[in-house]
Amino acid sequence: MPTIFTIRPVPLVFLLALCFTALLNWPVLLHLYHILSKLEHVKPGFAFSIPIVLVAALNLVFMPLSLRYLFKPCFAFLFIAGAIVSVAMLKYRVLFDQEMIQNIFETNQSEAGAYLSPTMISWVFFTGILPALLLFFIKIDYASPWYRGILPRLLSMLASLAVLALVAGLYYKDYASVGRNNRDLNREIVPISALYGTGKYLHQRYLAEPILYTRLGEDAVRTQTAGKPTLMFLVIGETARGKNFSMNGYHRQTNPFTSQIGNLISFTDVHSCGTATAISLPCMFSNLGRSGFDSNLARHRDDLLDVLQKSGVAIFWKENDGGCKGVCDRVPNMEVSPKEHPAFCDGETCHDEVLLQGLEEEIGRMQGDKLVIFHLIGSHGPAYYQRYPDAHRVFLPDCRRSDIENCSNEALINTYDNSIHYTDHVIAELIARLQHHDSDYQTALLYVSDHGESLGEMGLYLHGTPYRFAPDEQTRVPLQLWLSTGFIQQKQVDFDCLRESASAKRFSHDNLFPSLLGIWDVTTRVYRRELDLFAPCRPG
């Protein structure tokens, strides 16, 4: 293999630290200097020291990777992974903490493909793949015997520590002040944050001490089964934000279909359990609540569907969003195959109307009281334009590309609102199916999204921002409830009370578990009446 030049490990690691700072840490440097620009007084030395601190920190962290057989493959991987992380942060301000890493690991191939764009591919090639390839054309002059290389490495690490100590001595108060007021900064350093998040996720998922499985609702029984059987649809949305629903006060008519349906309520102040599907979906079906939710713990205990199934409710899950994240593993379920529905699918993803296909036969195969769950692809970004057919291109111009940062803000919002408009159509069609069954069942539908979405507000795009920093756009979600007249009568629901509650009270995903148990009249120790949104509007 031809050689570009020969260099010893210690200076090469220093050059790589410089390279990572200059090439891949632009997002954190830009963010830092943006923060400083808003401050009234900034010491010039403090501002000048920021890239020096970053180089010294990376040199310290990188040095242990400079061993003969680790060096090139490790840094080649770090270049490519770092390039992917940095472009996502630069374009969308996505932070790669443990929750985001979990979301990446649990995202299917078609979803991941939607994020590809010419801009992203070019960035990853020039800042990741190309430097990784060039690294293999550099000859590294290792010390012989090997132990003679230990002292230079230690001295380099001590020099890095000395630089960090010196800067801390001069500007500790400045760094502490900026850090306290901007606690997400440490999550932006490439590649340290992503590697740390990956390590935490892999340890928790595969290496942590096994957790004994916890069964819930072994005592679950239904106290009301007289009259016609119940057929309920539970619709789980994807990436829908509550503020873009016209029934919640949005200035555009994004709910032209459901707004014409009687006995339908839109809850105006509902907040999600997380900012990504991998967290929110299992959390909303868990009884742990947002404050106590732990993904590893949730995987090892029963959820809402398990308890309802134990009480005698027949359950069926229909999937159109790449997976139920373990929620539906113990109930009958099916995932839509794009190849089987060319009228609704492009070969990789499908419009949500595909979930209505074969629905009557699936309901017919279920026995007794029935709950069908539909997991929509909804408004999954960044390729929002792929989430609705041409008939629902009502807000124009729309953004017909996945690199949404290259579209105007007007086109981006138009595209997103079109996806909400189409979701509204799908919900209305599902209600129409339920109305068709009114003579045989007491029918109801509840729709709630998993999380919201940022569309450029505060420079943020997509979702996945750590919850404590996440804006309202990512955590406020829509919740709609439709009840047939027969269902209202049989369940003794005070509909006016429920409507008033929907506009006056704040709810969250924490309400789903007890509310579904309550409206299905399930008696069990895990039911919490104080979180049941129906309870104040029913007798007893």
Q: Can you list the alpha helix ranges (DSSP code H) found in 455-538?
A: 472-475, 485-491, 495-504, 512-519
Whether residue 256 is found in the same domain as residue 125: no
Distance (Å, whole) CA 80 – CA 74: 10
pLDDT at 418: 98
Q: Are residues 277 and 324 in the same domain?
A: yes
CB within 8 A of 229, min separation 6: which ones? 368, 369, 370, 440, 441, 442
pLDDT value of position 115: 67
CA angle 207, 210, 215 (to 5 degrees): 145
**CA gap 352, 341 in Å, rounded:** 11
Over residues 39-50, the pLDDT tens digits come to: 778 889 999 999
- Give per-residue pLDDT as tens, 141-192: 999 888 898 999 999 999 999 999 999 999 887 887 787 677 677 778 888 8
pLDDT band for position 112 (50/70/90)?
A: low
The per-residue pLDDT for 261 is 97
pLDDT band for position 137 (cuts 50, 70, 90)? very high
Highest mean pLDDT out of 110-124, 166-180, 337-351: 337-351
Last residue of a domain, one of 183, 207, 231: 207
Q: How confident is the model at residue 490 (pLDDT cuts 50, 70, 90)?
A: very high
Range 407-422 burial, b when 16+ CB lie within 10 A, else e: beeebbbbbbbbbbbb
pLDDT tens digits for 236-264?
Answer: 999 999 999 999 999 999 999 999 999 99
Residues 392/425, Cβ–Cβ less than 8 Å: yes
Q: Which residue has the tokens 């999600």?
A: 272
pLDDT in tens, 396-428: 999 998 878 778 999 999 999 999 999 999 999
Same domain, 346 and 481: yes
Rounded distance between C-alpha atoms, residue 501 and residue 533, angstroms: 8
Whole domain around residue 462: which residue ranges? 221-537
Q: What rounded mean pLDDT belongs to the chain?
A: 91
What is the number of residues in the chain?
A: 540
Q: Are 216 and 306 in contact (CB under 8 A)?
A: yes
Alpha carbon of 15 to those of 55, 56, 190, 442: distances in Å? 9, 11, 15, 70
Q: Is residue 145 part of a domain?
A: yes
Q: Counting Cβ atoms within 10 Å, is residue 371 exposed (0-12), middle (13-18) or buried (19+)?
A: buried
Kindly state whether residues 158 and 256 are assigned to the same domain. Answer: no
Looking at the fold, whether 276 and 192 belong to one and the same domain comes out as no
**pLDDT 10s digits, 479-489:** 999 999 999 99
Rg of the chain over all Cα atoms, to the nearest angstrom: 27
Position 539: which residue type?
Answer: P
pLDDT at 111: 60
The phi and psi torsions of 483 (rounded to 5 degrees) equal -125, 130
End-to-end CA distance of the chain: 81
Is the CB of residue 248 less than 8 Å from the CB of residue 477? no
Domain-embedded: residue 214: no
| Same-domain check for residues 198 and 228 | no
Question: Has residue 319 been placed in a domain?
Answer: yes
Judge whether 216 lies within some domain.
no
My answer on whether 174 and 290 are in the same domain is: no
Whether residue 193 is found in the same domain as residue 317 = no
110 pLDDT higher than 70: no
Q: 288, 298 in Cβ contact below 8 A? A: yes
For residue 315, what is the domain's CATH number?
Answer: 3.40.720.10
pLDDT of residue 107: 67
* Domain count across the chain: 2
**Alpha helical stretches, state H, 63-126:** 71-92, 98-105, 109-113, 118-124
Contact 336, 318 (CB under 8 A): yes
The DSSP string of 262-302 is: TTEEEES-EE-S-SSHHHHHHHHTSSSHHHH--HHHHHTB-
